[in-house]
Amino acid sequence: MTLGQMAYDILSLGVPFSVALLLAALGEMFNQRAGVFNLGCEGIMSLGAFVGFLPAYLARSGSLGPWADLLGFALAAVVGMLLGLLFGLVTVTFRAPQGIAGIGLAMLGTGVAGTLFRHEIGGVTGVEGVANLPIPGLSRIPFLGGVLFNHNPVVYVAFLLVPASGYLLHRTSWGLRVRAVGTHPRAADTLGIDVNRVRYQALMLGGALGGMGGAYLSLCQAKMFADDLVAGRGFIAVALVYFGRWSPWGVAAGALLFSLAQSLQLSLQVWGIRFPYEFAVMLPYVLVIVVLALSRSRTIGPTALGRAFNREMRV
């Protein structure tokens, strides 16, 4: 096998792997830009994965076809939004500590998804999932065609969301408000901006993206549901936001880096290269830790991150 082929294998596998992380991490980025630290991403992804899977599973003998998958993504987005709303109620309105509330939401989401799965479905069942949609013309380009343009449609949408998020954050009035309430909520308040309302909005958007990230896992990547499908990706997504320094492009780079490490690890096994399997599996996670430890912060993140806003709390 040539080096070029190896690179091709790793890249063409790694790009679609990154999408679940990318969606969830973009969502978390909006949360954090608005000043809310949502560790519950894991739970939102789990429940999103389950409800996204449900229509396709129930309609597996019917004729809904791709509509079942679309319905699944929509349901996952709605459920994610509702969980974001719940998190807002707990941390924004009742001002509970965000770290603890996030752990709670992570456990709630995974727990409920697992229970419903065992109750309604029972065993591991596959679905057809979302089919690949090669882009006419572009997918024929040697090497790049297979790496970039021969995937399921959600991959394309997710990568278009990167510049779209950048636009939303920096070129719209909503983005301006989000950045302000995450950095200096008191200043935003004195200008008549409803800090908590903006935070709720960001949490709902973040939740929707997290839920869709989960649905991507069950509908596009694994094409099945299992209790441990999400397997910590929600927490990795939170880490990627720090790695990406709260910018959509940075977050995308982080998601790609992590998933390329993961696809390298899988490829090593497929190629039968003698390398301890346990170390290979560890690789992506170790990489994230090393990169986070070594990346010295040059840009300062949202300075009000993690603190509930209370107008009448002085100092």
- Given the rule CB under 8 A, which residues bind another protein? 171-177, 179-180, 183-184, 186-194, 300, 303, 311-312
Among residues 189 and 227, whose Cβ is nearest to another protein? 189
Among residues 46 and 196, whose Cβ is nearest to another protein? 196
Which residues on neighbouring strands pair with residue 134, listed in sequence order?
150
* Least distance in angstroms from the C-beta of 102 to another protein: 24
* Least distance in angstroms from the C-beta of 187 to another protein: 4
* Least distance in angstroms from the C-beta of 192 to another protein: 3
* Least distance in angstroms from the C-beta of 204 to another protein: 17
Among residues 135 and 176, whose Cβ is nearest to another protein? 176
Among residues 89 and 176, whose Cβ is nearest to another protein? 176
Q: What are phi and psi of 224, to 5 degrees?
A: -165, 170
**Locus of tokens 């397997």:** 231
Among residues 86 and 251, whose Cβ is nearest to another protein? 251
Among residues 152 and 183, whose Cβ is nearest to another protein? 183
Question: Could you tell me how far CA 154 lies from the centroid of its own chain?
Answer: 13
Nearest CA-CA partner of 268 in 249, 255, 281, 253: 281
Among residues 80 and 185, whose Cβ is nearest to another protein? 185
User: By three-state DSSP, how is residue 291 classified?
Assistant: helix
* Least distance in angstroms from the C-beta of 240 to another protein: 21
* Least distance in angstroms from the C-beta of 78 to another protein: 22
Side chain identity at residue 3, one-letter code: L
User: Can you read off the two tokens belonging to residue 126?
Assistant: 């596959």
Distance CA 169, CA 179 (A): 7
Pairing of β 133-134 and β 150-151: antiparallel
Nearest CA-CA partner of 41 in 198, 179, 211, 165: 211
182, 35 in Cβ contact below 8 A? yes
Nearest CA-CA partner of 42 in 97, 94, 93, 114: 114
Distance CA 48, CA 153 (A): 18
* Least distance in angstroms from the C-beta of 245 to another protein: 12
